[in-house]
Structure 1
Amino acid sequence: MGILTFSDVNGGRVELTFGDNHLGMEARHVLVVLKQSGKWLLTRHSIRGVEFPGGKAEPGESIEEAAIRETIEETGVTIQDLVKVAEYIVQSDSTFCKAVFTAKVAQIDEQPTLHETEGAMWLTSDELDQCEELSFHMKGTGMETIREWVERHES
């Protein structure tokens, strides 16, 4: 698949590519799109609403390390066996590149120390589609395409 170009819900130009990064910008943001036993791992951000875990890599941290750390911090779920699904660039006032991962659950902390979120939420596809509290990050062509890819490759 080549580069898919579209506008996000805020009107920003987005370029999404699966596989190798052909976008010409290093990813320093991460998103973890994980489905296990028919349910998606999500979290409720205190401001934005329901979304997949993710964030920014810290200085000296690889994007894989950032994906693992952000997932623990936002959901209490430790992940392993990361697979990079895609990367996308959002062109806006502060253009950035985000790497999208899927993974397997290694461990779930039932009483995690959380950062900016309310912890893990596990929703079926129908529940996710009908969720009225979705973050703007969760809406639009790009997220639909990423979810479809993860579902097709779910083991």
Structure 2
Amino acid sequence: MNIFKDYYNNEVKLSFADQPFSKTPKHVWVICKFKDNWLLTKHKDRGFEFPGGKVEKGETAKQAAIREVMEETGGKVKEIAYIGQYFVAGKGGNIIKNVYFATVSDLTQQHTYFETDGPLLLDSIPNDVKHNDLYSFIMKDGVLPQCMGYIEKNADKFFHKNNT
């Protein structure tokens, strides 16, 4: 288990075990690839981030992840895999969030992207995200680099010939 502070100095616990904090988390975050690019969204208030959000009543966390990718980017998820789960001991309450890795097969232009301005494709995630005002606070703690390292280390599990 990895323990660190987030952007707001809250304690974060990140685990790559199978849902160690809750079997029914209320939030999801999806690290996405579309072809050779990382697929992010531009949140209207927070800036650039990977898609994510709340699990709605009657859906699983995985279903929520697929829905959030579509709503915020217009991306159709081809494959999705659970990566890990993190727990934030926030001042306003605790948050438990599942992290997924998804490959997206198609991007469809939409009339609305809900609380975002739609998709953003990047060939790489910049090293200065932590100090770059264009990026959301969600991208600025240890969750992103540790999850990216986990994806890279397990590339054979997540990347297939037809997705790279």
Normalised by the length of structure 2, the TM-score is 0.84
Look up the SS of the partner of 2:21 in the other structure: coil
Partner of 2:135: 134
Partner of 1:26: 24
- Among 2, 5, 13, the alignment partner of 2:3 is 5
- Among 35, 39, 42, the alignment partner of 2:40 is 42
Amino acid at match of 1:17: S
Alpha carbons of structure 1 residues 146 and 122: separation in structure 2 relative to 1, 3 Å: same
Partner of 1:73: 71
Look up the SS of the partner of 1:58 in the other structure: coil
**Gapped regions of structure 1 (runs ≥ 5):** none
Alpha carbons of structure 1 residues 101 and 112: separation in structure 2 relative to 1, 3 Å: farther
Alpha-carbon distance, 1:21 to partner: 1.9
- How many residue pairs are counted as aligned between the two chains? 152
Amino acid at match of 1:15: K
What is the percent sequence identity of the aligned residues? Answer: 35
Please tell me whether the aligned partners of residues 15 and 84 of structure 2 are also in contact (alpha carbons under 8 angstroms): yes
Please tell me whether the aligned partners of residues 6 and 13 of structure 1 are also in contact (alpha carbons under 8 angstroms): yes
Q: Distance in 2 between matches of 1:38 and 1:107?
A: 13
Alpha-carbon distance, 1:129 to partner: 3.0
Q: Distance in 2 between matches of 1:34 and 1:24?
A: 23
Alignment RMSD, CA only? 1.7
Normalised by the length of structure 1, the TM-score is 0.89
Q: Distance in 2 between matches of 1:118 and 1:129?
A: 23
**Gapped regions of structure 2 (runs ≥ 5):** 160-164
